[in-house]
Chain A
Amino acid sequence: MLDLTFESPKIKTIAGAKHDWELVIGMEVHAQVSSNSKLFSGASTQFGAEPNSNVAFVDAAMPGMLPVINEFCVEQAVRTGLGLKAEINLFSAFDRKNYFYPDLPQGYQISQLYHPIVGEGEVIVDMEPGIARRVRIERIHLEQDAGKSIHDMDPNMSFVDVNRTGVALMEIVSRPDIRGPEEAAAFVVKLRQILRYLGTCDGNMQSGSMRADVNVSVCLPGQYEKFIETGDFGHLGTRCEIKNMNSMRFIQQAIDVEAKRQIAIIEAGGKVDQETRLYDPDKGETRSMRSKEEAHDYRYFPDPDLLPLEIEQAWVDDIAKTLPELPDEKKARFVKGFNLSEYDASVLTADVDSAGFFEAVAEGRDGKLAANWVINELFGRLKADEKDITSSPITPAQLGGIIDLIKADTISGKIAKDLFEIIYTEGGDPAEVVEARGMKQVTDTGAIEAAVDQIIADNPAQVAKAKENPKLAGWFVGQVMKATGGKANPKAVNQIIAAKLAE
């Protein structure tokens, strides 16, 4: 396999009043499984439906209703595990996490505490070319999402929408291997990228398909290494969990302010309490949601309505065979196969659709040129239009056609940009458009020479100056291009002007 080598990023420290401090961060990412129906019912998972319309009897916890596992959700979890190079547990089991809340009709969430379906894996978190953090994944388990309580529709009442109740989530738990706010955000970005490649989660953070809980603690330099050596959490500081973050920006801000809060407490001689906190982006602070004492006792126990989930290695192997090429491998292949810079390869592989588009363009062409056109022209143009690659008005074949015309010296790079704009807005076959609109490059040296002679004849003063200072030849090039409507082959123009001025 093609692998790019990388070094770990430098650990960023935060300066306290007395010491420099390091951060230790672990994350729990809740990723909604891409699936048409819920984890234990046949109800639809469609986002944005009428309240309480995607609800099976079991989702509403009607008396006597029983959960039945959705095999596709299990397959998606296994696929995710394989994508994170994780151990797949052939035996897993479901447990009930008991607590009362109106949007949790059963009074318990079915989850996997004791026997998760996926064990240890890893995510390579890219920071910049050649620099990445290897973050270990502790486990992934399947669980039900809760519904939504709506508190702002009535002054006295709350409303409940159980459409989301029972939708399958994967909780992806990392080890405390993340060492700074940027790394934490990059972890979520990379995880999201992998899940989208796998098709196991759409990664839409706005609609809540991905949410992260962040565990933050601070320690003095050297302590983390002791923890890694011994596995003893005693070397680390007390952690606080910041719940339910749904944007990369907020994740970074929250970690930063939380770390500073903890440092201030410790440096003032206080103790950080282990607790669950919420980040308030308006005030730029975290605040306590519930302390350890108030923490729920979830009374986990094996769900007696469900048998343990036993899957076969052969089934796992079959899923492994259908795994797509993942971002790290794709990036390495782009670097090595298309001779791209790691930066360009990262940009192109950030999204599986972009990568696919690029490959279709680059197929049988100059990879670097294709990358430039996709990244600089196409991405730029799409961004200006607020479009994404899947709704690109220009197809890979069309863009490839433009590149072919450049390569064949049929059009100049400048004309190619005009052509791109025409194809982007009007469509059509690039070669035909060039033909029909007379955009072909003039390589007939006779025609160019005539144009050059004319300009030289008309501008004796400029000729004299240029003869003294050859750098001024550029002015003549500009004039010739103007005279030929930009269609003159720039290379030929340069040569002829240089020759004529030297006469």
Chain B
Amino acid sequence: MSDLTKLTLAGARDALRKGETTSVELTETHLKAIEGAGALNAFVHHTPEIALEQAKAADARIAAGDAPDMCGLPIGIKDLFCTKGVPSQAASAILEGFKPEYESTVSQNLFDAGAVMLGKLNMDEFAMGSSNETSVYGNVVNPWRRSGDEADLTPGGSSGGSASAVAADLCLAATGTDTGGSIRQPAAFTGITGIKPTYGRCSRWGTIAFASSLDQAGPMTKDVRDAAIMLEAMCSFDAKDSTSANLPVPNFEAMLTGDIKGKTIGIPKEYRMDGMPDEIEQLWADGTAMMKEAGAKVVDISLPHTKYALPAYYVIAPAEASSNLARYDGVRYGHRAKLDAGDGITEMYEKTRAEGFGPEVQRRVMIGTYVLSAGFYDAYYNRARRVRALIKKDFDDVFATGVDAILTPATPSAAFGLGEMKDADPVQMYLNDVFTVTVNLAGLPGIAVPAGVDANGLPLALQLIGKPWEEGDLLNTAYALEQSAGFVAKPSKWW
């Protein structure tokens, strides 16, 4: 076959079933691509032995006619997922050398379906970041460049390694996680598709926690069909996660008809921000027109509490993180600082955590500790929870009027240069999440679909937000958008 790395999951699945290639061949081709892509710094742990073993087993399953959709398909796993016997560090120095004795439910589901793990993917430390610059492994580089410019761009974050690897054809797809936009923003920056399902669809068991009430895993893929295929394999009810939903997982791919006639798409006025680049405005207008052309009814809607979402998110997420990250204390696993004579337990905690956590993680732990402390709890954390309830109600109210999905920009800009935000106020970086955090706060499914390019030739994406548990319908709407947008651009290989 021609270049196997250009295949989609669906294409590779079909080729495997027809016997046009083997999983071993697919896997070897991708391993080679990874080897040649060190400049992107997307993969941080390579697992070729595991990959080839899984590929052989997958080929046997395919030969036996027992092949689920993901069988034999080589993918990358974000470093946030615990993978048995394989380093799983959340891109943090504090988990130095940590190899779990267990497999996360999501990666186990994928392996049960026959997926092949090529390695672990780079990310922002503990999924805290929007540019993949907070990783202990160094930043990931976006395979896209501005036309006529060799400056390295960010792939976005926190699932930057996943985004870069999929966009650069190093793997057919990758897992991501999304707490405030960590799947959708990097997908948008790299011209791929990323869906965050409804909170509770994917088990969080075995995924290193950032903010428990917001974290959700999801697929990052080359197109919407692939997202449907991979999401189905990732989801499951899991009794080991008390927040996991006991609902049947539909066949999402079968719901991709592209027919959205009669659907109602809401355009929220509050997502039109001051200072938003014209290109984003234009992309949104184009997307709106496409939805109309496809037969959907487009209505203006209001989500009045949107402007409070980002501040509420940056209270709730750090609050939960400050507690979730308390376990990294140097006592049982991971990094422990070398102690001086006379140092006690307090010094061990302080030195270990000072050395093990990067500045962004430290900042969020500090913010989280502050907002939960006596005297500030009501003013910050409790107020943020009330805001969260109002944001959720905004969406509930809109869906109750018959809106099926909401169309918004995915990000306020195209990918920016690495290091560009180095001296900026951290809040500038947090603004990257402005269109995506509402979805996490409300626990809704959201998908980023590439829909155009900016003046520099960089990909831009739109976001569709769906009703809870209606990922199938959302994917179908995204599929219609994808077909209308006809985004086919790929980064030119420079690495």
Proximity bits, A428-451, B CB within 8 Å = 1, else 0: 000000000000000000000000
Q: Tell yes or no: A316 within 8 A of B by CB.
A: no
Q: Tell yes or no: A121 within 8 A of B by CB.
A: no
Q: Tell yes or no: A90 within 8 A of B by CB.
A: no
Q: Tell yes or no: A160 within 8 A of B by CB.
A: yes
Looking at the complex, which of B238-246, B425-433, B474-482 is the stretch in contact with chain A?
A: B238-246
Given the known A-B contacts A102-B345, A305-B243, are A63 and B98 also in contact in the complex, defined by CB atoms under 8 Å?
A: yes
Q: Tell yes or no: B9 within 8 A of A by CB.
A: no
Looking at the complex, which of B115-123, B207-215, B256-264 is the stretch in contact with chain A?
A: B207-215
The reply to whether B372 and A61 contact each other, CB–CB distance below 8 Å, is no
Closest residue on chain B to residue A306 by CB atoms: B242
* Chain A residues closer than 8 Å to B204, beta-carbon distance: 64, 66
Q: Tell yes or no: A257 within 8 A of B by CB.
A: no
* Chain A residues closer than 8 Å to B319, beta-carbon distance: 301
Q: Tell yes or no: A96 within 8 A of B by CB.
A: yes
- B81 vs chain A, min Cβ distance (A): 8
Q: Tell yes or no: B111 within 8 A of A by CB.
A: no
User: In A217-262, which residues have CB < 8 Å from any B CB?
Assistant: none
The reply to whether B242 and A67 contact each other, CB–CB distance below 8 Å, is yes
* Chain B residues closer than 8 Å to A299, beta-carbon distance: 322-323, 369, 372-374, 377
Q: Which one, A66, A98, A102, contacts B242 given CB within 8 A?
A: A66
Closest residue on chain B to residue A99 by CB atoms: B326
Proximity bits, A313-339, B CB within 8 Å = 1, else 0: 000000000000000000000000000
- A375 vs chain B, min Cβ distance (A): 51
Q: Which one, B101, B213, B242, B322, contacts A57 given CB within 8 A?
A: B101
* Chain A residues closer than 8 Å to B369, beta-carbon distance: 299
The reply to whether A68 and B323 contact each other, CB–CB distance below 8 Å, is no
- B206 vs chain A, min Cβ distance (A): 4
Q: Tell yes or no: A62 within 8 A of B by CB.
A: yes
Q: How large is the interface on A (under 10, 10 to 19, 20 to 34, 35 or more residues)?
A: 20 to 34
* Chain B residues closer than 8 Å to A102, beta-carbon distance: 329, 331, 345
Looking at the complex, which of A104-112, A193-201, A405-413, A474-482 is the stretch in contact with chain B?
A: A104-112
* Chain B residues closer than 8 Å to A96, beta-carbon distance: 323
Given the known A-B contacts A62-B100, A63-B90, A106-B326, are A301 and B372 also in contact in the complex, defined by CB atoms under 8 Å?
A: yes
User: In B18-43, which residues have CB < 8 Å from any A CB?
Assistant: none
Q: How many residues of B contact A (CB 8 A)?
A: 43
How far is A385 from B495 in the complex, measured between Cα atoms in Å? 85
* Chain B residues closer than 8 Å to A65, beta-carbon distance: 205-206
- A292 vs chain B, min Cβ distance (A): 12
Q: Chain B at the A interface: mostly helix, strand, loop or mixed? A: loop
Proximity bits, A52-91, B CB within 8 Å = 1, else 0: 0000010011111111110000000000000000000000
- B77 vs chain A, min Cβ distance (A): 13
The reply to whether A98 and B102 contact each other, CB–CB distance below 8 Å, is no
The reply to whether A304 and B211 contact each other, CB–CB distance below 8 Å, is yes
The reply to whether A66 and B241 contact each other, CB–CB distance below 8 Å, is yes
Q: Tell yes or no: A343 within 8 A of B by CB.
A: no
- A59 vs chain B, min Cβ distance (A): 11
* Chain B residues closer than 8 Å to A305, beta-carbon distance: 209, 212, 242-243
- A150 vs chain B, min Cβ distance (A): 13
Q: Tell yes or no: B233 within 8 A of A by CB.
A: no
Q: Which one, A66, A107, A297, A304, contacts B240 given CB within 8 A?
A: A66
How far is A63 from B327 in the complex, measured between Cα atoms in Å? 8
User: In B341-389, which residues have CB < 8 Å from any A CB?
Assistant: 345, 349, 369, 372-374, 377, 381
Q: Tell yes or no: B141 within 8 A of A by CB.
A: no
Q: Tell yes or no: A454 within 8 A of B by CB.
A: no
- B76 vs chain A, min Cβ distance (A): 18
User: In B182-208, which residues have CB < 8 Å from any A CB?
Assistant: 204-208
How far is A297 from B100 in the complex, measured between Cα atoms in Å? 32
Given the known A-B contacts A96-B323, A100-B326, are A307 and B331 also in contact in the complex, defined by CB atoms under 8 Å?
A: no
Question: B residues within 8 Å of A by Cβ?
Answer: 81-82, 88, 90, 95, 98, 100-102, 104, 204-209, 211-213, 239-243, 319-320, 322-323, 325-327, 329, 331-333, 345, 349, 369, 372-374, 377, 381
Question: A residues within 8 Å of B by Cβ?
Answer: 57, 60-69, 96, 98, 100, 102, 105-108, 158, 160, 297, 299-301, 304-307
